[in-house]
Structure 1
């Protein structure tokens, strides 16, 4: 088994042997994937110099033992292509050493002289310790070096240690909610660099996951034309929530800059109070006419752009099918569609017994509806029996949770997660 803890500087130049004892090369560096939070970064693998004067990447899962003078690999194939560092990867010896850091509990500044890596319970490796050298004092002939836990050292996360291009590369592999959480922790200048670099669609996805205060601040940073473009790319209910936080004149100005077809559903939602079904709903559920087939319905719910909650049911209506629709006939659950023949008509399986939610129903009533029926989406229907939209359980939770809940770190925002091979997209030779 590999050693419990290894300081990386001692690995440099160690011989690397294959499982049969043949010498392959020597260690040049260690590749890690920094995170956007203070949790220890994952070790992806080693850079190994071959005898043929070329370097390859060896995943940590291929390392079976690290002894005092050698590294031994387990059986299995590795990619023999020349090592090519990716944007979300950092070299410990080449980039982390000599980085300026601050010790959190003492406030002292120093530089990194070494880091320790060790295996976790999941067989991954992570950086767990940082050796920091401080300036010499008048009373000390030699500079002091202390070893601290990774969580007690600031300055080595992605935002601090990497350029904006690397940070963006890391964000590309993350969910919008995790990007939003990381973005909120960045200094203003770095936030603005990220916002400028993201396209409107991606930025809209991130905006939907930001807290109200962060939304307002970043929207104020954007010029009006781009702010309107981002609002158009957001879900109408999220855009309405954001505009509802702004002064009336500012919200009116941005609505005026949006395309009429994009602003109209947002204006409709803004007529309702934020804590009613009308204010919570999305005006873009999956709607079908009664003559639609099961195959058509399944094609609609398979659309990857449809959120999972909205894909849980389709709503059958008389024309027009765009909200506000013609007469609402009922809903069909996704599980029913999966059990039916593709050629069957959705009109033959409509659930007419499920009670509807009125647009003026308050948050408490909507919550009780979801608790009663154990569903994740529900129809919002007006007094004239027109479908206005659908409320989803995630929107309800968003308003039930305490203010500022988005600012709390959930912990799983690790970046650069690899395949079983230890590195994203690595190929076997």
Structure 2
């Protein structure tokens, strides 16, 4: 095994490979245990394998840790990771703890830790990266940083105490929304709420959209109504409607009153339709333009970074008004078709008027059949007057058709020989 100092915060997200170069997963955390007279010892890694399941990889099965990759023996126990008594996750629990420097240097917060392998092949914490209290009153100032070894500091609280939510959120900053949701669900319930309370509204909204409804409700119930309404404003209208539909009518109406009027109006419209219909599944915010709009205008709207990929796949052409419910739907222009024409080309000249729209009352099964039959990622949804009221995308249908626990469900998989932890 190669010997080098590795900082744990930089290790997060690193790919894990078997000896022949096949990717097994990615590092999500490092697990340590305390010792009475020496620095905490590393006992393994928490690795996320396909299916977003987090499993334990013993450090004894790691043959190399270096920049950009971790090499293992290839044997991984696929049982979901559950911390045992005395085990501490560095990113989830250790970073952010407060320590006192024994040389009289005051107190500091652990911002990162380095792990290193000794001559006996054992990995342990070798160095702490610390940030001291700031010396300026400016809200933008930060305290000075320093390095220290384990025997140069003393922890200021019980070793079972969790890190600050602020430090944990920093380690989550670059995660995809689905990965963030999985990481939150791996935390103890109280810790999950602490982190949710500190996450920015947009990030928490993204994570909630990726969670099962029971977990969404658990978090929403612990937030104040004002904060809950802010989160709902940031969610996609169809996801917000699905979540609100699980609440008692009195609280549902109260939260709608606290939401921004435009966002609440979209959600109220979706709540009128059954959850198993196109109207209940759709998103009421497609890209809508007139037939006189140009390819350049359409592509400019598609480039909006906040637009969901399925909604960016096509532009819908209608008669005025151009906000849902629009005027009569004339047709659709797909993104790839626009790329074949000059920027000044009118959408009306290249639109596809053969695509059959679905009614707001169409069943989820009917929508799924149409998406599959025509190899589409989205379908227009119209009312009885053939006005465009929304778009239902393939991910909306998948969320409905998959079991409620699909994000956390452990499929039955055989364990490899020697896979016991």
Report the alpha carbon displacement of residue 167 of structure 1 after superposing the two structures with TM. 2.0
Shift of the 193–115 alpha-carbon distance from structure 1 to 2, 3 Å rule, reads farther
Alpha-carbon distance in 1 for matches of 2:282, 2:377: 12
Alpha-carbon distance in 2 for matches of 1:392, 1:186: 31
Residue in structure 1 matched with residue 331 of structure 2 by the alignment:
330
Residue in structure 2 matched with residue 98 of structure 1 by the alignment:
40
Match of 1:124 among 66, 69, 93: 69
TM-score by length of 1: 0.65
- Contact between 2:287 and 2:314, CA under 8 Å: does it hold in 1? yes
Report the alpha carbon displacement of residue 166 of structure 1 after superposing the two structures with TM. 3.4
Secondary structure in 1 aligned to 2:305? coil
Alpha-carbon distance in 1 for matches of 2:365, 2:286: 22
Residue in structure 2 matched with residue 249 of structure 1 by the alignment:
250
Residue in structure 2 matched with residue 258 of structure 1 by the alignment:
259
Alpha-carbon distance in 2 for matches of 1:344, 1:239: 37
Alpha-carbon distance in 2 for matches of 1:234, 1:30: 38
- Contact between 1:316 and 1:332, CA under 8 Å: does it hold in 2? yes
Secondary structure in 2 aligned to 1:406? coil
- Contact between 2:14 and 2:69, CA under 8 Å: does it hold in 1? no
Secondary structure in 1 aligned to 2:317? strand
Report the alpha carbon displacement of residue 210 of structure 1 after superposing the two structures with TM. 1.1
Report the alpha carbon displacement of residue 189 of structure 1 after superposing the two structures with TM. 2.3
Residue in structure 2 matched with residue 222 of structure 1 by the alignment:
223
Residue in structure 2 matched with residue 236 of structure 1 by the alignment:
237
1:174 aligns with 2:175: yes
Shift of the 408–126 alpha-carbon distance from structure 1 to 2, 3 Å rule, reads farther
Residue in structure 1 matched with residue 126 of structure 2 by the alignment:
none
Shift of the 281–42 alpha-carbon distance from structure 1 to 2, 3 Å rule, reads closer
- Contact between 2:329 and 2:387, CA under 8 Å: does it hold in 1? yes
Shift of the 218–33 alpha-carbon distance from structure 1 to 2, 3 Å rule, reads same
Alpha-carbon distance in 2 for matches of 1:288, 1:170: 41
- For CA contacts below 8 A with separation 6 or more, give which structure has more relative contact order: 1
TM-score by length of 2: 0.66
- Equivalent residues in 2 for 1:248-397 (5 A)? 248-397=249-398
Residue in structure 2 matched with residue 197 of structure 1 by the alignment:
198
Report the alpha carbon displacement of residue 160 of structure 1 after superposing the two structures with TM. 3.4
Deviating beyond 4 angstroms after TM superposition, the runs of 4 or more aligned structure 1 residues are 33-36, 40-43, 88-96, 99-102, 114-117, 120-123, 126-129, 149-154
Residue in structure 2 matched with residue 159 of structure 1 by the alignment:
92
Alpha-carbon distance in 2 for matches of 1:128, 1:190: 33
Report the alpha carbon displacement of residue 97 of structure 1 after superposing the two structures with TM. 3.8
Report the alpha carbon displacement of residue 101 of structure 1 after superposing the two structures with TM. 8.0
- Render the CA deviation track for 1:125-184: whole Å, top value 9, x for unaligned: 35889xxxxxxxxxxxxxxxxxxx997974343323332333212211100111001101
- Contact between 1:33 and 1:41, CA under 8 Å: does it hold in 2? no
Secondary structure in 2 aligned to 1:119? strand
Secondary structure in 2 aligned to 1:210? coil
Unaligned runs of 5+ in 2: 17-27, 45-58, 96-162, 412-421
- Contact between 2:32 and 2:40, CA under 8 Å: does it hold in 1? no
Residue in structure 2 matched with residue 48 of structure 1 by the alignment:
none
- Equivalent residues in 2 for 1:133-144 (5 A)? none
Alpha-carbon distance in 1 for matches of 2:83, 2:209: 32
Residue in structure 2 matched with residue 30 of structure 1 by the alignment:
6
- Contact between 1:325 and 1:388, CA under 8 Å: does it hold in 2? yes
- Contact between 1:293 and 1:346, CA under 8 Å: does it hold in 2? yes
Shift of the 93–183 alpha-carbon distance from structure 1 to 2, 3 Å rule, reads closer
Alpha-carbon distance in 2 for matches of 1:271, 1:369: 23
Residue in structure 2 matched with residue 15 of structure 1 by the alignment:
none
Alpha-carbon distance in 2 for matches of 1:173, 1:227: 23
Unaligned runs of 5+ in 1: 12-26, 44-87, 103-113, 130-148, 411-429
Alpha-carbon distance in 1 for matches of 2:218, 2:337: 45
Shift of the 296–327 alpha-carbon distance from structure 1 to 2, 3 Å rule, reads same
- Render the CA deviation track for 1:95-137: whole Å, top value 9, x for unaligned: 99426989xxxxxxxxxxx9785238998235889xxxxxxxx
Q: RMSD in angstroms over aligned alpha carbons? A: 3.6
- Contact between 2:324 and 2:388, CA under 8 Å: does it hold in 1? yes
Rg comparison, structure with higher value:
1
